[in-house]
Structure 1
Amino acid sequence: MEEQNQLSGFTLRTKEEQKDIYFKEHKHTYFEILLIMKGKRFVKINGEEFLAKDGDIIIFFPGEVHEEKTLSKTISYLVLNFGDYNLQQLHVDFPKLPPAFHVFNIGADSGIFEVLNKIIREDRGNLEDAAALKGAYFIEFVVLLKRAFREALKGLKTNSPGRERITSAITLMKKSFDKDMNLSELAGQSFLSASYFSQVFKEKTGKSPKQYLIKEKIEKAKELLSKTDKSIKQIADELGYETESYFFRQFKQKTRLTPMDFRERKKV
């Protein structure tokens, strides 16, 4: 496992990468923050899986083991690195956050993107007193990030944390049978870690996301078999099954009938 050393000053840069760029498991002794401008990125932090997309911010705390992979054709993002020394020097503290919020959407009105661009402009301008302005902008960034944290954490301070997001995820699942969304993608759409998403999902539905998705697919298949003349292959394709035979096996396993037998019984 790679370990990167403490920074003496904070750095901010823009990056662009192609699909399948992979950063193997590593950690460092400083903070690293990524702001995704365009694209999708898979990250795994201390064993928790996340999917980050346009407008999402990713927080890597010092000492956290993580790996990353670009999922979209291309990705562009800002990356900010800073250490405890920088925070102490500027007399600011960085907030702690629950594991579920290592990745979350900062919102279009947060002002975070704008203040980071101010830092980049000062870096490129090489003007007198640029360091002082960069320090002021960095303090502004931390304050804005704290506000974004507080907004994001409101969902965790209710009696049923994350449940509204699960409802949205269920709606998305039902609309996206043909896209075969995996757990990381569903959790990412809900701005939750994969493990926390699974936990809250099961609390709400009594089933794991995979079990629930299968149940919904079978119910939709029953509806299509009963109310349409679509072929078995057409139904399998519509529900996101890779092959007709896999759909056939799963349908029979759950209903004890083949799709054809089910359709015939409904005609009687």
Structure 2
Amino acid sequence: MKNKYRKYLITSEKDKSWGFYINNLGRNVIKKYAKYPSMDHPDQYIFTWEKGRVLNEFHIVLITKGTGIFESHATGKIKVSDGDIFLLFPGVWHRYKPQKSTGWTERWVGFSGAIANQFLSNGFFNADEPIVSKCNTPAVLHHFNTLFKLFDEATYGYQHVASGVCIQLMAELHNIKSGGSNLDDLNSMISRAKSIMYKNINSSINLIEIASDLGVSYSKFRIDFKKQTGVSPLQYHLLLKIEKSKELLLNSNKSQKEIAFELGFESHHYFNRLFKKKTNLTPKQFRLKEK
């Protein structure tokens, strides 16, 4: 890997209308006791430790080796180290530097756009909590390397493809941030729970027993499940049943009563009410509309 790589882009109005566009990206190995930051960036990106900096765009900065300090008006001083990512937000004063005795290796990508702004306005990320730890993962590194490759090759439409990769990177960071230190365990637990639910799609399930079999309390199971899927375990199981009922309505001649019985609903009246609540159509209307 080259010690230094930088790309600063000229973005057109067409690029901006896409809703998410990359302004710059790079990587740099800062050796021990080296001067930081260097002054060979475009003017709008140069800063000194004494004055700091305010950007009009987002940045993701990944530290893959070494330690240092990050500071912003929103957070005060925070120590950062190998595997940490810090996010820079538009309009927020900040500064950062590696510890002289260690230096650091940094990768970064800067981006803007209406879609990027939604991450902030919808609360997925905020300037008060800019540090995401344990990001030195194969997935995160892969996204950065893909971006470097795209901008090296610069094939037709690469900016739009790169914007999608950067959004994937943001999604990965959000998963790490919300999943915490037990992300792998959480993924495994929820995956197993989904499998159990699907295998029991034709019957009712005891969610307390499932949680116990997975080795957690029901309250923790419910919280973790909803954190990852956006719905409670019970609602997820019911949604599975509704999706299965759609298949049966379209691909069989079974009556609504037969489908309700096959999927383990307590009555066909309950099945009809639930189906309409989830789809805004009765089973009969859905069958007529989709066939």
Q: TM-score, normalised by structure 2?
A: 0.44
Structure possessing the higher radius of gyration over alpha carbons: 2
Work out which structure has the larger RCO, using CA pairs closer than 8 Å and 6 or more positions apart in sequence: 1
